[in-house]
């Protein structure tokens, strides 16, 4: 089973199903019209660790790849607990963050959305790209024209002078630069999602002399970890060999 919701999860599902493996991808069901991975898909929460364990057992899952987003830490904690309790092998597939980005030292790194808001208080026209679930932390910014970009419309009401963009990556450098110019952006708020899909905004901000406030990744449970699809495939092959019954 692949715990998904990311491009890497879809790519891995595609490779494994093409190779003839029986894969089920699990999605939380948050996004209105998700990109579906090939192969079997189940949607919705499991009902905590107990529900996940029950699903793993009744569905005969042999291995779990946790390829959820770097900020989906609750799902990862549940997967780690379920793996400990059932002995089912688990690997975490997580793309590297942007801490080694050539501009990383010039950004203000903060631990969460509340700290991002405090660090960005001086912004007069902020560009908020830290995701729908973080919007609440900024909701009381009624005094400035915030540009907020999310995949799906938030359920919470936003102040009337905010502009909401609904879209999903990948985004180009030219497009990001134009958005920042069109909206006279003076500060970018993002989280350390990593990867290339949403990285162009960081270069555009740098070239336009726009400050960046970045929310660092949350602490994760300790599990086996890989950073890309090739490493995940190698880990799965090793795990398969280790659990295969031996004849001699
Ligand atoms: P989260 O806070 O870690 O998880 C909250 C609960 O949602 C989990 O306890 C679980 O419910 C359910 N859940 C999460 N991922 C699931 C999955 N792949 N399959 C089945 N149930 C799942 O997760 P989140 O941050 O809300 O993210 C939800 C989904 O969106 C994830 O699949 C993630 O990969 C994707 N995503 C998240 C972000 C982000 O910034 N957080 C960005 C892009 C994509 P139960 O306890 O009932 O099992």
C-alpha of residue 158 to centroid of ligand 1, in Å: 23
* Domain parsing of the chain, residue ranges: 2-94+220-243, 104-215
Q: What is the pLDDT of residue 247?
A: 45
Q: Whose CA is nearest to atom 35 of ligand 1?
A: 5
The CATH number for 2-94+220-243, chosen from 1.10.3680, 1.10.1060, 3.40.50, 2.40.160, is 3.40.50
User: What is the distance in A from the centroid of ligand 1 to the CA of 198?
Assistant: 19
Quick: pLDDT tens for 170-212: 999 999 999 999 999 999 999 999 999 999 999 999 999 999 9
Only one residue has tokens 């019209």, namely 33
Report residue 241's pLDDT band, with 50, 70 and 90 as the boundaries: confident
Residue 248 confidence (pLDDT): 42
Report whether CATH 3.40.50.720 matches the domain 104-215. yes
Report d(CA 156, CA 189) in Å as an integer: 19
Task: Give the Å distance between the CA of 28 and the centre of ligand 1.
Answer: 5
Q: Is the dihedral of CA 190, 196, 200, 202 positive or negative?
A: positive
Which tens digit of pLDDT belongs to each residue from 121-162?
999 999 999 999 999 999 999 999 999 999 999 999 999 999
Ligand 1 pocket, 68 CB below 6 A?
yes
Specify whether the CB–CB gap between 44 and 28 falls below 8 A. Answer: yes
Evaluate: CB of 46 within 6 angstroms of ligand 1: yes
Instruction: Give the global pTM.
Output: 0.94
Q: Tell me if 2-94+220-243 shares its fold with 104-215.
A: yes
Is the pLDDT confidence value at 245 over 80? no
The confidence band for 8, taking pLDDT boundaries of 50, 70 and 90, is very high
73 ligand 1 Cβ < 6 A = yes
* Least confident span in 25-39, 83-97, 99-113, 123-137: 25-39
């Amino acid at each position: 089973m692949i715990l998904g919701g990311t491009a890497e999860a879809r790519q891995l599902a595609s490779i494994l199903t093409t190779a003839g493996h029986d894969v089920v991808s699990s999605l939380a069901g948050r996004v209105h019209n998700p990109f579906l991975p090939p192969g079997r898909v189940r949607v919705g929460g499991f009902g905590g660790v107990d529900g996940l364990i029950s699903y793993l057992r009744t569905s005969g899952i042999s291995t779990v790849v946790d390829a959820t987003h770097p900020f989906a830490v609750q799902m990862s904690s549940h997967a780690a607990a379920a793996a400990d309790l059932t002995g089912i092998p688990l690997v975490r597939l997580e793309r590297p963050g942007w801490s080694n980005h050539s501009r990383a030292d010039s950004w203000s790194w903060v631990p969460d959305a509340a700290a991002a808001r405090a660090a960005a208080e001086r912004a007069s026209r902020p560009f908020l790209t830290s995701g729908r679930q973080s919007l609440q932390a900024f909701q009381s910014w009624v005094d400035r024209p915030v540009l907020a970009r999310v995949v799906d419309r938030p359920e919470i009401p936003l102040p009337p002078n905010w502009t909401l963009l609904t879209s999903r990556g990948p985004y180009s450098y030219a497009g990001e630069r134009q958005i920042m110019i069109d909206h006279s952006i003076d500060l970018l708020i993002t989280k350390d999602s990593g990867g290339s899909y949403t990285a162009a905004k960081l270069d555009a901000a740098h070239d336009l002399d726009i400050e960046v406030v970045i929310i660092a990744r949350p602490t994760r449970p300790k599990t086996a970890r890989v950073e890309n699809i090739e490493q995940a495939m190698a880990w799965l092959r090793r795990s398969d060999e280790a659990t295969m019954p031996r004849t001699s």
